[in-house]
Amino acid sequence: MEAVEKVEVAALNVEYFDSAPEGWDAYIAAHPKSKIYHESRWNKLIEKTFGHKTAYYVLKRGSEICGVLPLVRFNSMIFGKFAVSLPFINYGGPLLNDEADAPALVQALADFRKQQDLKFVELRLDEEMPLEIPCKQHKVTFFLDLPDDEEALMKSFKAKLRSQIRRPGKAEMYAKSGGEDLLDDFYTVFTVNMRDLGTPPLPKDFFRNILQAYPENASISAVYSKEHKVAAASFLIGFGDTMEIPWASALREFNKFSPNMLLYWESLRYSVEKGYKRFDYGRCTPDTGTYKFKKQWGSVESPLYWYYVMPEGEELPEMNHSNSKFDMVIKTWQKLPLGVTKFLGPKIIKHIP
């Protein structure tokens, strides 16, 4: 019998760094499932805006990187110490060459949680992974495949939807897209909407820093009344073949004109113009008004998976509107003057991922 040569497989090594190690961004650029948020540039932006530091986890076999995970650490007076991959946006989580390495990463995160005295580690994923840890499936997103031109895009919609898109135009509303030149208009609508929802707004510097760090990826679309007053606005982030709309708002005073319909059309049209092939409508809660709004565009629902490394038997964290503990706080926030919420909001939201 002919001898079979034995091939030695290097042991898996998992470690973390306080700054992105050599090869980090090259690995992300080559990984088919990477997001813009995995990049070291994005995580430096988070530290610059909020002061939160990132732990850069790297999985290696020998000298070869076979997985990465950026993990942003929080030390909150409100919620205590925890870590998230990644905060303020919809995605993050590990990128791996082989999902069989996931348990080793989870063990490393469990050790990290204990060493850092964290309540939990949260991993936000857009697909299920073989992780034997608690998981929440409370959010979904929607994806729409985009054609090569806006005429084909409009034709792909049902007649009723096309009519709704054109409705704001009958009230002489109009839309445009741009960059930092539209930031003030976006933030005006965003802060009013957040106040009305009872949620502290993200700081304007966060959006400015994104636009400046990613001038080719980030943009703003906005809708205006015939008096040239901003009525609705969205913030767009493109990466790979996908354009995402993480933030979109409209002023309630214009609801009768349906500016949201024109806003989403402009966001879609602009995405086609820029050559993107898929549109990500951003996360929402099933069976809500936002969910139904996004579904009507003929988009395909896709579940999101939030995994938790935490002590056994602990309740999953609820740092959102669904937690009844915040009902009184939300109602109070909704009654505050806008100037107060714009001043206090960024100081609070930096602690809520």
Q: What is the pLDDT of residue 11?
A: 87
Identity of residue 301? E
Pair of tokens at residue 44: 């430096």
312 Cα distance to chain centroid: 28
- Burial of 219 per CB tally in 10 Å (0-12, 13-18, 19+): buried
Same fold, 12-138+305-317 and 140-303: yes
Residues 6+ apart with CB under 8 A from 34: 28, 95, 240
Comparing CA positions, the residue from 100, 142, 95 lying closest to residue 12 is 100
Comparing CA positions, the residue from 152, 162, 155 lying closest to residue 296 is 162
Q: What is the pLDDT along the chain (353 residues), one digit of tens a residue?
A: 444 444 444 689 999 999 999 999 999 999 999 999 999 999 999 999 999 999 999 999 988 999 999 999 999 877 899 999 999 999 999 999 999 999 999 999 999 999 999 999 999 999 998 888 999 999 999 999 999 999 999 999 999 999 999 999 999 999 999 999 999 999 999 999 999 999 999 999 999 999 999 999 999 999 999 999 999 999 999 999 999 999 999 999 999 999 999 999 999 999 999 999 999 999 999 999 999 999 999 999 999 999 999 998 888 888 665 655 667 888 888 888 999 999 999 999 999 98
3 state SS of 302? strand
For CA atoms 207, 248, 337, 350, the dihedral sign is negative
**At which residue do the structure tokens 């009958």 appear?**
170
Contact 96, 102 (CB under 8 A): yes
CA distances from 125 to 135, 226, 313 (A): 10, 41, 22
Rg (CA), the chain: 22
Number of C-beta neighbours around residue 20 at 10 A: 19
User: pLDDT for 130-141, tens place per residue?
Assistant: 888 999 999 999
3 state SS of 321? coil
Q: Domain 140-303 is of which CATH architecture?
A: 3-Layer(aba) Sandwich (3.40)
The string of DSSP codes covering 92-108 is ---EES-GGGHHHHHHH
Angle at which helix 183-197 crosses helix 327-334, to 10 degrees, equals 130
Alpha-carbon span 224 to 176, nearest angstrom: 8
Q: What is the pLDDT of residue 323?
A: 56
- pTM surpassing 0.85? yes
Domain boundaries, the chain: 12-138+305-317, 140-303
Alpha-carbon span 267 to 248, nearest angstrom: 10
The string of DSSP codes covering 231-274 is EEEEEEEEETTEEEEEEEEE-GGGGGG-HHHHHHHHHHHHHHHT
Query: Backbone phi, then psi, for 250, in 5-degree steps?
Result: -140, 150
Contact 283, 139 (CB under 8 A): yes
What CATH superfamily is the domain 12-138+305-317? Gcn5-related N-acetyltransferase (GNAT) (3.40.630.30)
Beta bridge partners of 71: 55
Q: What is the pLDDT of residue 5?
A: 47
Give the helix ranges, DSSP H, for the chain: 24-30, 40-50, 102-116, 150-155, 159-170, 183-197, 204-213, 259-273, 289-295, 327-334, 338-349
Contact 23, 7 (CB under 8 A): no
